[in-house]
Amino acid sequence: MKHKDKIEQYHLHKAHPERLQFEIYDLASYLKRNVEHASVAHSHSFYQILWFYNAGGNHYVDFDVHHIKKDTVLFISKNQIHYFDESAKHEGVIIHFNEQFLMQSDVDIFLKYNVFNTQGRPCYCITEDISVLANSYIELIKTELKNNAHFGHKQVVRYLLKSLLIVFERVHRENKDGTIKFTNHYELQYLQFRELIETHYKNHNTVSEYADLLYISSKTLSTVTKLIASKSPSELISERLILEAQRLLSFTTLKINEVAYTLGFDDASYFVKYFKRHLKQSPSDYRKLIS
């Protein structure tokens, strides 16, 4: 591995927030233009749907290898590390969108989509009838994208994308194992907590500090996470920090102490102990293993 002190992250129209925060591409053409970047481990600050029409090659997401079969659909959440198989001849479609493109209120059906839940099943094959239905929505989206001067253009694209996601979510729910169970009362607080972790995990906030940010008690926060994710708040906080440590150890050449400082640890030796406590091996042993 060449010296690499960070994982590249790409953004959608960051310099032009006025643009439609949505893009759809032919996968083969997209990879032909961007293979140099797409085949190297990277992340996005937006969501991505990859639909592979043909079988062949692999796709790498964090530490999992997905063998691509015909009509494989893969959901990449924001901040996940992934990259394409440079030698594969993929055909299909790739969709990019930012979360705010869908969310019109604090509680939105999008928040319930388990397809982007990284603890669940981010990859599966769809049947021919689902493929036909999903493709009909994609063709409608492509047609609407040509009508950008028409009344309600953004709303039409948004509703079509939501419909497409609902189609995929219905397939996803056929497998009930590992999916997050949402309740009307606590779902928003849970998702807000996960977003706060994503923003502040390098600050090493305590459960009490996160609860204060949510204007709830630590006890209520614990109830929320136990009910929805069957985990304590501290487990979710630690998991996010350990995940980023694994990413940096796997996809960069940063030294152990540099990884520690990048993650907000003042003492590299404490980081080593923290990592070992959670993964039962030292950072250096972990790096040797994944290498």
Name all contacts of 258-267 with Cβ < 8 Å and 24+ positions apart.
258/5, 259/283, 262/202, 263/202, 264/202, 264/203, 264/204
Contacts of 56 (CB under 8 A, 6+ apart): 68, 88, 89, 90
pLDDT digits (tens, 9 = 90+) for 4-59: 778 899 999 988 888 899 999 999 999 999 988 999 999 999 999 999 999 999 99
Assess whether pLDDT exceeds 70 at residue 163.
yes
pLDDT score recorded for residue 288 = 93
Q: Which residues pair with 22 in a beta bridge?
A: 97
> For the ranges 48-52, 74-78, 174-178, which has the lowest average pLDDT?
174-178
CA quadruple 149, 152, 153, 156: dihedral, nearest 10 = -160
**Confidence label for 114 from pLDDT (cuts 50, 70 and 90):** low
Q: Do domains 8-172 and 187-290 have the same CATH topology?
A: no
pLDDT score recorded for residue 258 = 97
DSSP 105: S
Q: What is the mean pLDDT of residues 99-114?
A: 63
Q: Which two tokens stand for residue 67?
A: 């063998």
Q: Assess contact for 63 and 36: CB atoms under 8 A.
A: no
Q: Which residue has the higher pLDDT, 124 or 276?
A: 276
Assess whether pLDDT exceeds 80 at residue 101.
yes
| Alpha helix stretches (DSSP H) within 146-267 | 153-172, 187-200, 207-213, 218-229, 233-251, 256-262
Q: 3-state DSSP: the chain helix, strand, coil percent, rounded to 5?
A: 50, 15, 35
Q: For domain 8-172, give its CATH number from 2.70.98, 2.60.40, 1.20.1070, 2.60.120.
A: 2.60.120
Assess whether pLDDT exceeds 80 at residue 3.
no
Q: Which residues pair with 97 in a beta bridge?
A: 22, 47
Q: SS3 sequence, 176-195? A: CCCCCCCCCCCHHHHHHHHH
Assess whether pLDDT exceeds 60 at residue 112.
no
Sorted by where each begins, the domain ranges of the chain are: 8-172, 187-290
Q: What is the mean pLDDT of residues 86-93?
A: 93
Mean pLDDT of the chain: 88
Q: Assess contact for 24 and 138: CB atoms under 8 A.
A: yes
- Percent of the chain exceeding pLDDT 70 equals 89
pLDDT score recorded for residue 1 = 55
pLDDT score recorded for residue 34 = 92
Q: What is the mean pLDDT of residues 275-283?
A: 96
Q: Which residue has the higher pLDDT, 91 or 116?
A: 91
Instruction: Say which CATH class 187-290 falls into.
Output: mainly alpha
- Burial call 51-77: b when 16+ CB within 10 Å, e when fewer: bbbbeebebebbeeebebeebbbbbbb
Q: Assess contact for 32 and 54: CB atoms under 8 A.
A: no
Q: What is the mean pLDDT of residues 129-149?
A: 95
pLDDT score recorded for residue 157 = 95
Phi, psi at 186, each rounded to 5° = -110, -5
